C-alpha cells in the first residue's frame, strides 16, 4: 500500500483511464479554518486550538488568529481587524476540479492543467490597490470554454470517445451526491486546457433542489449520480425522480424481542435511485422510464440495530448505484514519472550528476524536488494576481498592456508544508483527529540553502529559477515574496510529490499556451537546479541530519 497523494480535503473517485493516467476529482479548499474563524470572531462553539507540533504530546495553545499564516483571511472584516489598511482581498475557495496523476503517483496536477480560469465564472483578484488586477469574469473577455461550473464529481471516461468524460455537478448537502450531469473534453495527453470544453448534459435545473412547497422547475427531470457511459454511446446513470432535498421519515413501533421491549423504526427515504438510460440532446438529456432491473427492482427486507433501536426496511426497493458495464477492455498502459526535459537534463549533464542516482538518493529519504524555470512568467489568462514581475538584478516579464501597470519585484519563494496542528473540542479534552495548517518548510535536509531570517524561503536566481528539496507525500503550497518579505503571487492549491520525484514547472502560474508576453512557457536551463546539485555533491555524504524530521 503506497500513498500517491496527500490531499488535506480529499481525493475522490480515482479511475485508470485509457491512456494510463489516474483521473479523479479533488476538493480544492485551501482556505483558512472556518471553525477557528467562528471561534475567534463570533464566539463560536468549536473549541479550536493549535498544537505546537505534530508530536503526540505537543503543547496545546489557545486559539489565536495569528496561528494561521496562509492563505489570506476569508472575509474583509477579518482583514480589517488583523491587518488594518492592508491591500489584501479576502480569499475564499470551495470547488471540486478534475485532477490526474501517473500510476506511480508522480505528475500530480489538474487534468491537462485545467483550473479555475477554465472552470469558474467568477473569482476575486488578490490585491485591491492595483488597477491592472481584475476580478475574473469568464465573459470578459469570453474564454474558449463558455460553460461554467463550480464542481466536477465522479468523472468517467467515455469508452466510445476516449479523452472525453461525463461527470456530476452537485451541491454539498441534502441530495446524496446527485445532481446535473456534465461532459468535459477532449483531455488527450497532448492537449492544452484551452482546448477543453465543458457542457451540460441534463438540464441546468437538475442541479440543486426545489423547496418542499415550490412547484417543479422547468426541465428538471430528477437527480443523477454514478454516470456510466457505455461502449455503444448510450449513457446509464442512477436516477431519482424526487427533486427535493432527500429526507428520511420513520414510523416507530415497539416489539418484544428476547423479553425486552424495543423501539422499531421503519424509515422511508424520499429518494429512490434506479438505474435508467438517458436520452436527449446536450442540455436536455433525461432519464427514460425504463428501469434496467424492471418495475419491481431489487426488493429486500433488511434489519439492523442502531444502537438500541431496531431499524427495519420491510420489502424495500434497494437503491441501484455504481453501475459498471461488463465488456472486454484493452488494459491501459502503465504510466510513471517522465524523463527529464532538455533544460534540466543539460544541468545534470554539466554537473556530472546521474539523474537516476539522484532520484534514488531522494527516494531513500522520502524526498522530492520542485523546480521552477522562471517565476516571472505567468499564464496569459491570469490577471487576478500580479503579472508584471522582475527579479532584482535579473530577468523580468513586463506586459505592454495595460501601459504603466505596477511592476513587482520578487526575490524568493516561500514553500509551505501542511502540518497536522489544528485541534478542536478544547485544550483540556480535545476531540480525536487534527487538521492541517500551512507552516514554512522545515522537513528538508537542504536548510542551508534557505535565506537567513526568512523561514522556508529559497532564493529566486537571476534567471527566475527556483529549486527546492521538499518532503514527499506531504501536501505543499508556496508563494513568491518581495525583497521585503511581502507575498506577491500565491499558489491556490495543495500539491504533493512522491519519493524521488523531480517536478518541473515553467512558471507560476504555469503557462497553458502563452504567457503575459504572448510567449510559450520558459525553456531556460534553471540555474537554481545547478546550485542545488552542486550543494548536494558537496554535502550528500554528511547525511543532512540536522533539522530534518
- Residue pLDDT, tens place only, 315-370: 999 999 999 999 999 999 999 999 999 999 999 999 999 999 999 999 999 999 99
445, 548 contact by CB (below 8 A): yes
Residues 279 and 383 in one domain: no
Q: 261 in a domain, yes or no?
A: no
Residues 518 and 388 in one domain: yes
**Main-chain phi, psi angles of 297, to 5 degrees:** 65, -155
**Does residue 101 sit in the same domain as residue 217?**
yes
Residues in the chain: 549
Q: Are 49 and 63 in contact (CB under 8 A)?
A: yes
Would you state the pLDDT for residue 454? 94
Give the Cα separation of 226 and 204 in Å (integer): 18
Residue 33: phi, psi to the nearest 5? -65, 115
Burial 290-301 (b: 16+ CB within 10 A, else e): ebeeeeebeeee
Q: Domain range spanning residue 129?
A: 96-246+269-293
410 and 288 fall within a common domain: no
pLDDT above 70: percentage of residues in the chain: 98
Does a structural domain hold residue 184?
Answer: yes
Together in a domain, 216 and 124: yes
Residues 364 and 494 placed together within one structural domain of the fold: yes
Number of domains in the chain: 2
Q: Which of 177, 192, 181, 175 is nearest to 156 (CA)?
A: 181
Residue 131: inside a domain, yes or no? yes
User: In the predicted model, what is the mean pLDDT of residues 246-272?
Assistant: 95
Per residue, the 3-state secondary structure of 490-521, as one string, reads ECCCCECCCCCCEEEECCCCCCCCCECCCCCC
Does the pLDDT of residue 180 top 90, yes or no?
yes
Give the mean pLDDT of 11-34.
Answer: 98
The values of phi and psi at residue 388, to 5°, are -90, 100
287 with 403, same domain?
Answer: no
Q: Grid coordinates representing 217?
A: 422547475
Please give the distance of CA 499 from its chain centroid, rounded to a whole number.
Answer: 20
Residues 288 and 379 in one domain: no
The residue among 299, 156, 295, 300 whose CA lies nearest residue 225 is 156
Evaluate whether residue 5 is within a structural domain: no
Phi and psi at 361, nearest 5°, equal -60, -45
HEC readout, 250-273: EEEEEEEECCEEEEEEEEEECCCC
Please state, in angstroms and rounded to a whole number, the distance separating the CA atoms of residues 166 and 157.
6
Give the pLDDT score at 541: 60
Of 219, 236, 244, 242, give the one whose Cα is nearest residue 291: 236
Residues 204 and 346 in one domain: no
Structural domain contains residue 424: yes
The angle at the Cα of 367, spanning 361 to 369, to the nearest 5 degrees, equals: 95
- 189-241 residue pLDDT tens: 989 999 999 999 999 999 999 999 999 999 999 999 999 999 999 999 999 99
Answer yes or no: is 370 within a domain. yes
Q: What share of the chain is helix, strand, coil (3-state, %, to 5)?
A: 15, 35, 55
Contact 77, 38 (CB under 8 A): no
Residues 278, 344 share a domain: no
Secondary structure of 291-348 as H, E, C letters: ECCCCCCCEEEEEEECCCCEEEEEEEECCCCCCCCCCCCCCCCCCCCCCCCHHHHHHH
Angle, in degrees to the nearest 10, between helices 527-539 and 342-350:
40
Report pLDDT digits (tens) over 359-413. Answer: 999 999 999 999 999 999 999 999 999 999 999 999 999 999 999 899 999 999 9
Q: Cα separation of 545 and 444, whole Å?
A: 10
Average pLDDT score over residue span 447-459:
93
DSSP-based three-state secondary structure for 22: strand
Pair (389, 528) in one structural domain: yes
Confirm whether 307 is domain-assigned. no
Asked if residue 41 is part of any domain, the answer here is no
Banded model confidence at residue 545, pLDDT cuts 50, 70, 90: very low
**364/358 Cα distance (integer angstroms):** 10
Q: Could you count the other beta carbons within 10 Å of the beta carbon of residue 331? A: 8
| Whole-prediction pTM | 0.95
Domain boundary among 293, 327, 355: 293
Nearest to 202 by CA among 217, 212, 192: 217
- Residues 342 and 220 placed together within one structural domain of the fold: no
Map grid coordinates 515574496 to a residue.
481
Amino acid at each position: 500500500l503506497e500513498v500517491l497523494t496527500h490531499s488535506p480535503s480529499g481525493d475522490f473517485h480515482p479511475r485508470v483511464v485509457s491512456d494510463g493516467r489516474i483521473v479523479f476529482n479533488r476538493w480544492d479548499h485551501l482556505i483558512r479554518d472556518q471553525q477557528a474563524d467562528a471561534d475567534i470572531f463570533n464566539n463560536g462553539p468549536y473549541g479550536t486550538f493549535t498544537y505546537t507540533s505534530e508530536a503526540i504530546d505537543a503543547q496545546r495553545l489557545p486559539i489565536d488568529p495569528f496561528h494561521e499564516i496562509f492563505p489570506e483571511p476569508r472575509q474583509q472584516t477579518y482583514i480589517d481587524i488583523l491587518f488594518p489598511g492592508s491591500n489584501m482581498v479576502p480569499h475564499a475557495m470551495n470547488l471540486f476540479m478534475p485532477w490526474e496523476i501517473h500510476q506511480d503517483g508522480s505528475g500530480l496536477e489538474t487534468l491537462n492543467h485545467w483550473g479555475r480560469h477554465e472552470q469558474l465564472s467568477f473569482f476575486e483578484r488578490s490585491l485591491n490597490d492595483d488597477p491592472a488586477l481584475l476580478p475574473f469574469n469568464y465573459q470578459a473577455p469570453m474564454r474558449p470554454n463558455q460553460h461554467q461550473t463550480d464542481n466536477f464529481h465522479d468523472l468517467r471516461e467515455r469508452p466510445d470517445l476516449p479523452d472525453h468524460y461525463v461527470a456530476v455537478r452537485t451541491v454539498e448537502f441534502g441530495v446524496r451526491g446527485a445532481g446535473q450531469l456534465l461532459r468535459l473534453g477532449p483531455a488527450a495527453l497532448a492537449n492544452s486546457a484551452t482546448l477543453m470544453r465543458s457542457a451540460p448534459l441534463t438540464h441546468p435545473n437538475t442541479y440543486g433542489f426545489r423547496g418542499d412547497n415550490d412547484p417543479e422547475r422547468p426541465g428538471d427531470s430528477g437527480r443523477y449520480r454514478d454516470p456510466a457511459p457505455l461502449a455503444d454511446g448510450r449513457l446509464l446513470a442512477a436516477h431519482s425522480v424526487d427533486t427535493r432535498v432527500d429526507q428520511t421519515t420513520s414510523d416507530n413501533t415497539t416489539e418484544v424481542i428476547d423479553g425486552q421491549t424495543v423501539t422499531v423504526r421503519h424509515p422511508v427515504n424520499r429518494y429512490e435511485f434506479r438505474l435508467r438510460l438517458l436520452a436527449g440532446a446536450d442540455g436536455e438529456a433525461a432519464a427514460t422510464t425504463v428501469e434496467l432491473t424492471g418495475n419491481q427492482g431489487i426488493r429486500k427486507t433488511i434489519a439492523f440495530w442502531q444502537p438500541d433501536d431496531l431499524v427495519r426496511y420491510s420489502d424495500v426497493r434497494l437503491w441501484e448505484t455504481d453501475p459498471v458495464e461488463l465488456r472486454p477492455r484493452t488494459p491501459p498502459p502503465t504510466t510513471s514519472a517522465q524523463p527529464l526535459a532538455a533544460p534540466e537534463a543539460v544541468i545534470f549533464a554539466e554537473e556530472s550528476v546521474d539523474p537516476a542516482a539522484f532520484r534514488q538518493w531522494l527516494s531513500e529519504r522520502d524526498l522530492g524536488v520542485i523546480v521552477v524555470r522562471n517565476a516571472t512568467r505567468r499564464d496569459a489568462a491570469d490577471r487576478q494576481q500580479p503579472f508584471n514581475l522582475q527579479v532584482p538584478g535579473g530577468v523580468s516579464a513586463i506586459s505592454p498592456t495595460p501601459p504603466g501597470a505596477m511592476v513587482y519585484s520578487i526575490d524568493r519563494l516561500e514553500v509551505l508544508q501542511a502540518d497536522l496542528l489544528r485541534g478542536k473540542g478544547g485544550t483540556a479534552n480535545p476531540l480525536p483527529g487534527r487538521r492541517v495548517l500551512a507552516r514554512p518548510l522545515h522537513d528538508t535536509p537542504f536548510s542551508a540553502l534557505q535565506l537567513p531570517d526568512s523561514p522556508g524561503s529559497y532564493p529566486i536566481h537571476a534567471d527566475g529559477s527556483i529549486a527546492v528539496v521538499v518532503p514527499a507525500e506531504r501536501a505543499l503550497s508556496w508563494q513568491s515574496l518581495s525583497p521585503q518579505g511581502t507575498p506577491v503571487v500565491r499558489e491556490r492549491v495543495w500539491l504533493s510529490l512522491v519519493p524521488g520525484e523531480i517536478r518541473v514547472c515553467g512558471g507560476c502560474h504555469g503557462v497553458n499556451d502563452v504567457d503575459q508576453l504572448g510567449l510559450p512557457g520558459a525553456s531556460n536551463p534553471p540555474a537554481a537546479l545547478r546550485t542545488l546539485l552542486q550543494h548536494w555533491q558537496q554535502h550528500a555524504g554528511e547525511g543532512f541530519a540536522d533539522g530534518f524530521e
